[in-house]
Amino acid sequence: MSHCCKYEIVNSVSVVFNLPSLAFVLILIAAGVVFWLLLVCTISWAILTPPRMTDGKALYLLNRLSPADIGLPFERCSFVTAGRPGQSIRIAGWWIPSAHPSRRTVILLHGFADAKVGAIAWARMWHELGFNILSVDLRGHGESGGRYCTGGYLERYDVANVIDDLRLQHPTETERVLLFGISFGGAVALATASLRDDLAGVVVDSPYASYEAAVRQHLRLSRLFDRTTFRPALLLAERFAGADFNAVHPTQLIPLISAPILLIQSDADAVIPPVSRRLLLTAMRDDTLHVRQSLAIDGAPHVKGFHTDPSRYCAAIKSFVDALPNGNEAV
């Protein structure tokens, strides 16, 4: 047999044996790409659609279903708001009147995957300060409409519309309106306040520095963070929701807000990392034209400052609202 024939035979055998190996490698690559795409879509969907707080979940987790369960009379109410033209949604709420006639109203804004039933944990405090209270379900949460949570991008317009409608329904009780937001609700409160110049004040408990930072930290705590999927998932979420998360960074919005702000944080907050807390404090300190106050409740877990040191927490809020123009005036 000639050398040429031997070479052809060996070459043919090599090709035969390499074809299955190549096909297997290609299948693995394709499977990896499909798995990566599924993971990106799953993370994106989780960003946009937090699990809703149901009555069963509220009863199990919070042991309450309404303000009546904490001894506060209330009325159910709703508002129709258009986050974007032609896409109106219903915002569900509870109106809790002050024990005595008051011109002051605070709007409670809950955290991510929570609802108005969670936010009323702070309602008794505000009630004792003499405020009327409106607790609402943000879009995509609780009993409100809306398919997606948009990181404050559309929520800011929802809350702004709610304020306008509430003033039409309760003109005397809403001469001075404050916003009180917890975590994600704090970011929504700041985003809403950046659109308005008619708010008496804003109190935010454990807000994040940016929605991107909040999502990253949440994924890290859930052990789902991966550098290759994080950015594509975030961009996909923005595209699905028609939102721009960069447009509602709290650290960038604080200097735009004319209303006085009280920021409440904790050094033991695992959800809001130290770098985010420093960025928020820097944004507050850089503004010398407006009233900016901060309170640190050391050792408190995320949004647990009220439960960790209630006397100091309540005293700081009372001092803040009493110092506002006509802050302690009733009807």
Q: Can you give the pLDDT at residue 85? A: 53
Banded pLDDT at 31 (limits 50, 70, 90): confident
pLDDT at 23 over 90: no
Average pLDDT on 99-122 reads: 97
pLDDT at 18 over 70: no
Nearest alpha carbon to residue 146 among 192, 95, 225, 92:
92
> Mind giving me the DSSP string for 263-287?
EEE-TT-SSS-HHHHHHHHHHHHT-
| Single pTM value for the model | 0.89
Nearest alpha carbon to residue 234 among 142, 150, 157, 120:
150
Average pLDDT on 266-284 reads: 94
Query: Are the C-beta atoms of residues 166 and 108 closer than 8 Å to each other?
Result: no
Antiparallel, parallel or unpaired: β 132-136 and 261-265: unpaired
Nearest alpha carbon to residue 176 among 16, 327, 4, 2:
327
pLDDT at 10 over 50: no
Q: Can you give the pLDDT at residue 245? A: 95
Report how far residue 83's alpha carbon sits from residue 87's, in angstroms, rounded to the nearest whole number: 7
pLDDT at 32 over 70: yes
Q: Which two tokens stand for residue 36?
A: 């990566």
Question: Running DSSP on this structure, what letter comes out for residue 35?
Answer: H
Q: What value does the mean pLDDT of the chain take?
A: 89
What percentage of the chain exceeds 90 in pLDDT? Answer: 74
Render pLDDT for 125-138 as a digit per residue (tens, 0 to 9). Answer: 999 999 999 999 99
**For domain 52-210+249-322, is the CATH number 3.40.50.1820?**
yes
Render pLDDT for 67-110 as a digit per residue (tens, 0 to 9). Answer: 999 999 999 999 998 756 557 899 999 999 999 999 999 999 99
Residues pairing with 93 in the sheet = 77, 136
Q: Can you give the pLDDT at residue 26? A: 80
Residues pairing with 133 in the sheet = 96, 106
SS3 content of the chain, % helix, strand, coil (to 5): 50, 15, 35
Render pLDDT for 291-300 as a digit per residue (tens, 0 to 9). Answer: 899 999 999 9
Residue 148 vs residues 2, 115, 151, 292, 331: alpha-carbon distances, Å: 73, 14, 9, 32, 40
**Least confident window among 11-20, 28-37, 265-274, 316-325:** 11-20
Average pLDDT on 9-13 reads: 43
Find tokens 């009630």 and name the residue.
127
Phi, psi of 152 (to 5 degrees): 100, -10
Phi, psi of 119 (to 5 degrees): -65, -25
Render pLDDT for 188-222 as a digit per residue (tens, 0 to 9). Answer: 999 999 999 999 999 999 999 999 999 999 888 88
Banded pLDDT at 19 (limits 50, 70, 90): low
Rounded CA Rg of the chain: 26
Q: Can you give the pLDDT at residue 328? A: 57
Banded pLDDT at 321 (limits 50, 70, 90): very high
Phi, psi of 130 (to 5 degrees): 90, 20
Render pLDDT for 40-49 as a digit per residue (tens, 0 to 9). Answer: 898 999 899 9
> Alpha-carbon dihedral of residues 134, 142, 265, 227, nearest 10 degrees?
-150
Nearest alpha carbon to residue 94 among 57, 127, 61, 59:
127
Q: Can you give the pLDDT at residue 178? A: 98
- Residue 40 CB contacts under 8 Å (≥ 6 apart), including other chains: 229, 232, 233, 236
Q: Can you give the pLDDT at residue 83? A: 57
Convert 55-79 into a string of H (helix), E (strand) and C (coil).
Answer: HHHHHHHCCCCCHHHHCCCCEEEEE
Q: Which two tokens stand for residue 102?
A: 């008051």
Q: How many CA atoms lie within 13 A of 21 on its CB side?
A: 5
Q: Which of 10-24, 168-182, 221-235 has the highest mean pLDDT?
A: 168-182
pLDDT at 258 over 70: yes
